Amino acid sequence: ISVNPHKRLGHLDDFLRYCDDLDRAEDELLPPHVYRIARAAFTALVRTGKSQSILVSGDSGAGKTEACKLVVACLARLAPSGRAGATEAALGGALMLEAREFVEAWGNATTTQNKNSSRFGKWLAVELDAESAIHRCSLQPYLLERSRVVVHGPGERSYHVFYQM
Ligand SMILES: Nc1ncnc2c1ncn2[C@@H]1O[C@H](COP(=O)(O)OP(=O)(O)OP(=O)(O)O)[C@@H](O)[C@H]1O
């Protein structure tokens, strides 16, 4: 269970430093946190070679979109560590986050529940190479609320991009 803090907590570096002090076998010693979920998926993928999935669900405004960004930020920091190609991998993670801002312009809108509500579902894939560095990221949108382009409720808006232009 993840609770929307409604403020930047910003302690990824502290968390990763804390993780570094622990043996990798001791995932269960980590505090409950979205970073712990991301790290557990990463270590399981590296250990087993099998794909891992993280399903984020909840009410509008619960913090799903922000939680996903934190997962990607955490993977981007974990994946390249100490390997050749680290710069490219870190860049891939950063680009993924930047790309999401762009996608949000076209698929997010202000609603009564959330001023940056995602009006589509998304399948985000992060692929690692044999060196456990980020190889490729992709984002597949689906079920976009297309009717919002022409009509929306009182106090709501159409997609951000129309106001940004
Ligand atoms: N981890 C977080 N740190 C700081 N602020 C957050 C965090 N999670 C959510 N918020 C705040 O809450 C707002 C709503 O969160 P978010 O857009 O992630 O919700 P959501 O569950 O994706 O909603 P929707 O289903 O409507 O898209 C964000 O715009 C942000 O202001």
> What amino acid occupies position 131?
E
Using the mean position of ligand 1's atoms as its centre, give its distance from the Cα of residue 60 in Å: 8
Complex ipTM above 0.90?
A: yes
- List all residues whose CB is within 6 A of at least one atom of ligand 1: 4-8, 58, 60-66, 114, 116-118
Element (H, E) at 139: strand 134-142
| pLDDT higher than 50, residue 82 | no
Kindly report, residue by residue over 105-116, the tens digit of the pLDDT: 999 999 999 999
CA-nearest residue for atom 31, ligand 1, is: 6
Say if residues 34 and 54 touch (Cβ distance below 8 Å): no
Domain count, the chain: 1
Confirm whether 3 is domain-assigned.
Answer: no
What pLDDT shows up at residue 117?
Answer: 97
* Mean of pLDDT values over 22-34: 70
pTM of the model: 0.87
CA-nearest residue for atom 10, ligand 1, is: 6
Confirm whether 156 is domain-assigned.
Answer: yes
Q: Binding residue per annotation — 138?
A: no
> Could you list the residue range(s) of the whole structural domain that residue 49 is in?
12-164
Neighbours of 125 (CB within 10 A): 11
